[in-house]
Amino acid sequence: DIQMTQSPSSLSASVGDRVTITCRASQGISNYLAWYQQKPGKVPKLLIYAASTLQSGVPSRFSGSGSGTDFTLTISSLQPEDVATYYCQKYNSARTFGQGTKVEIK
Amino acid sequence: EVQLVESGGGLVQPGRSLRLSCAASGFTFDDYAMHWVRQAPGKGLEWVSGISWNSGSIGYADSVKGRFTISRDNAKNSLYLQMNSLRAEDTALYYCAKDRSSSSWYRGDAFDIWGQGTMVTVSS
């Protein structure tokens, strides 16, 4: 089975900072990669699919890149409302999630 | 409004069974693959099972294979998860989720719609 590994597991950054989260697949998955945001006590929300396509309604400060085994989620200017846990997910065959990255404000 | 509403969760003893339901509205249910995802308290997301639009293809996580059965009734716009031989480690919030654009769970897509979840607690 393909494993998804995120790093870091948590981070603390200041408002306005550029934040980068990495997701690595144990085998190549082309661009079958999504990113989700889950705020405390809330339902997960789709941010990005096909590795780099922004879901409708998602702020443009969020972006995704990568293909094959290495992927990145970037928040260009961190806002207070971005405090959440972020998950990557592969979606070719079995849907496997990364372990999550918790983002906090410094 | 596009909506998924789960029901059927509760407290159950180890070894017993439970059936979850998910009622869909606001979209053409039989155009899309559907899934169950769970989240143990304080833990991350775990995909549990997926089913194609016509029930012709189904997949399970290894952790539930042989114990859980996913099904759907397109006439009722409903998704189900029959959970047998429940264990303490099955304790979680169970979400129903919709494939963004695909009718096949296998060659599928991301999940664009999620329900609010139904809590399952397995304990004696």
Stretches where chain A sits below pLDDT 70 are none
**CA end-to-end span of chain A:** 37
Geometric angle at alpha carbon B40, from A62 and B25, rounded to 5°: 65
**pLDDT at position B66 over 90:** yes
Amino acid letter for position B98: K
- pLDDT score at B104: 85
Percent of chain B scoring above 90 in pLDDT: 94
| Nearest CA-CA distance, residue A102 and chain B, Å | 11
Pairing type for strands A96-97 and B3-7 reads unpaired
Identify the band that residue B89 occupies on the pLDDT scale cut at 50, 70 and 90: very high
Min Cα distance B52 → chain A (Å) is 12
Q: Which of A69, A58, A96 is nearest to B45 (CA)?
A: A96
| B-chain residue closest to A95, CA distance | B47
The pairs formed by B50-56 with CB atoms below 8 angstroms and a separation of 24 or more are B50/A95, B50/B99, B50/B105, B50/B106, B50/B108, B51/B79, B51/B105, B52/B103, B52/B104, B52/B105, B52/B106, B53/B103, B53/B104, B54/B30, B54/B103
CB < 8 Å to A36, chain B = 45, 111
- Is the pLDDT at B103 greater than 90, yes or no? no
DSSP H/E element including B109: none
List Cβ neighbours of B66 (8 Å cut-off, separation of 6 or more). none
- Whether B30 shows a pLDDT value over 90: the answer reads yes
DSSP string, A12-80: EE-TT--EEEEEEESS--TT-EEEEEE-TTS--EEEEETTTEEPTT--TTEEEEEETTEEEEEESS--G
Mean residue pLDDT across chain B: 96
pLDDT at residue B56, rounded to an integer: 93
Summarize the confidence of residues B52-81 as an average pLDDT: 97
Torsion of CA A92, A95, A99, A105, to 10 degrees: 80
pLDDT for residue B107: 81
Per-residue pLDDT averaged across B35-61, rounded?
96
pLDDT at B101: 86
Nearest CA in chain A to B105: A93
Confidence of residue B106 (pLDDT cuts 50, 70, 90): confident
What does the pLDDT read at residue B97? 98
Identify the pLDDT of residue A92: 85
Minimal CA separation from A76 to chain B, in Å: 23
